[in-house]
Chains A and B, each alone.
Chain A
Amino acid sequence: MYNLVATRLTKRYAHIPAVDDATLALRPGKIYGLLGPNGSGKSTLMKLAAGLVHPSAGEVRVLGGPVCPAVRAQVAYMPTEPYFPGFMSVKQVGAFHADFFADFSTDAFKRLAERMELSMDMKVSQLSSGMEAKLKLAVAASRDAKLLMLDEPLNGVDLLARDVILSAIIERADENNTILISSHLIDVMERVLDEVIFLKRGRVVLQGEAEAVRARHGKSIVDLYREVYAS
């Protein structure tokens, strides 16, 4: 029914909650935007769903179950930070993911890498930060995951490559998977989002359909964002 359910999910680091009593239910066939300023808990929330971090309180269930290896095989998480070892070539990064993930398509990866002008033989250590950002995205988008979580996919990416990335995201979306995107670049992402979730200091402060928000308030998500975070 739901691809991601968080129930009163809390994560504390040294008594400070990064995610605070968050309750969410994400449906398949939708693209969700996770919005909020730095430190509002977006990354932590994704890491909780990806199994990289464990809850202090509450629960997170993905694809109907706890975040165990079998479930994680169907979850693709793209962190904000670069995380590929410098010694690997682009091709080897693809091979690594093909080894461990049954839903990874090497063909799709090669095509995406080509569209993003990434040479297969270049070592990760030789890539500029923009190219590394594109590689991260290419890896995530080459997986046929039921839950695809992208943490700031447009960060550090040049204008032209942004279109490639947005197209790749749209292409991935189908009626069975859930895509969760966190981004600062709301004005660019708006048109791609079905629903928006606003996080403030780890709490879910607003949730709703993007178009409904626009229609009801007569303002863009960007405007709404400003309102929510003005204080």
Chain B
Amino acid sequence: MMKLLKYELQRRRTLLPGAAIGMLFIEGAALYGIYRGGNWNTLAIAMTMLLAVGGLLLPMLDAVTKLYADYKQKQGYLLFLTPQGGYRILLAKTVFGALEIAASMLLICGCLALSAALLDRFQYGAATALLSSVGAQMGDALTTGMLFTFVGLAALQMIAQMCVALLAVTVSRAMVQSNRYNWLISLAMYFALAVGINMVNGVLLVAFGFVGDVMRLIRDESHALRMLGKYFAISAGTYAVWAAACTAVSGRLAGRSIDL
């Protein structure tokens, strides 16, 4: 596993630093916007959104394009000639992708914290004020809890989505030998499955009484923390199972059904 991760890292030895630097530049532009204030805040908002969306999408795109290249190009021989089963190879890709997502999220959070600090400094405590008002409405513990839940869930969801995308690429390649319409099939499968996760998650949440809990929340705010913990666990569970299942199926197909 470590050897496979080492190889996946090696292949990205220019991509990863490049992406990190790119993200820092974008954050730099956002910081500049905050510094100038007023109308420049628009720049800050736009850059921050770009950072968040780009930072989250990049690992997924990266994982998908590398796997597609491994199936399609001769360089894929290097990986698939190693005495490793398909499961191991796909698992390594999932693990590496998860690490990329985690790193990306950490970087994004770091940048957001930096932006908030600057916001406070140059716009008279605007960030702290914002957080306090939110905190006042929902209780301090809740704010931190919400933050962790949100970030953690977002990461898990991204990882699950990535596994779905890898499965989509693998299935289309296993079904259709020619390269021309693979991407179309992959895309269609991806959307179908990605929507699928969220539907299943929604169903599970409802099954565990989500609706009732929301009603109770409106009446009793302290219920929120317990509710959060429960739904974090359910959603995390759904995403984890989804990710594992997709990786396992991809691994089997890659090992037994795909012709390189």
Contact = CB atoms under 8 A, between A and B. Distances in A.
Interface of A: 13-14, 47, 50-54, 68-70, 72-73, 77, 79, 81-85, 87-88, 92, 96, 99-101
Contacts of B84: 69, 100
Nearest to A88: B10
Contacts of B82: 72, 100-101
A77 B177 CA distance: 22
Interface in B62-90: 74-78, 80-85
Nearest to A124: B75
Given A13-B177, A69-B84, A70-B83, A53 B13 contact: no
A73 B158 CA distance: 35
SS class, residues of chain A in contact with chain B: loop
Contacts of A14: 177
B259 A99 contact: no
B73 to A, nearest CB: 8
Given A13-B177, A72-B83, A100-B84, A79 B3 contact: no
Contact of A83 (B75, B256, B258): B75
Given A13-B177, A85-B75, A72 B81 contact: yes
B6 interface: yes
A128 B3 CA distance: 28
28 contacts: A50-B81, A51-B80, A52-B81, A52-B260, A53-B259, A54-B259, A68-B85, A70-B83, A72-B82, A72-B83, A77-B81, A79-B77, A81-B74, A83-B74, A83-B76, A83-B78, A84-B75, A84-B78, A85-B11, A85-B75, A87-B10, A87-B11, A87-B13, A96-B78, A99-B3, A99-B6, A100-B82, A100-B83
Nearest to B260: A52
B251 to A, nearest CB: 12
Contacts of B85: 68-69
Q: Which 8 A-B pairs have the closest CB atoms?
A: A73-B83, A100-B82, A83-B77, A83-B74, A53-B259, A72-B83, A69-B83, A52-B260
Contacts of B81: 50, 52, 72, 77
Given A84-B78, A87-B11, A99-B3, A54 B256 contact: yes
A99 B1 CA distance: 11
A54 B80 contact: no
B149 interface: no
Contacts of A77: 81
Given A54-B256, A73-B83, A96 B7 contact: yes
B3 A100 contact: yes
A84 B81 CA distance: 12
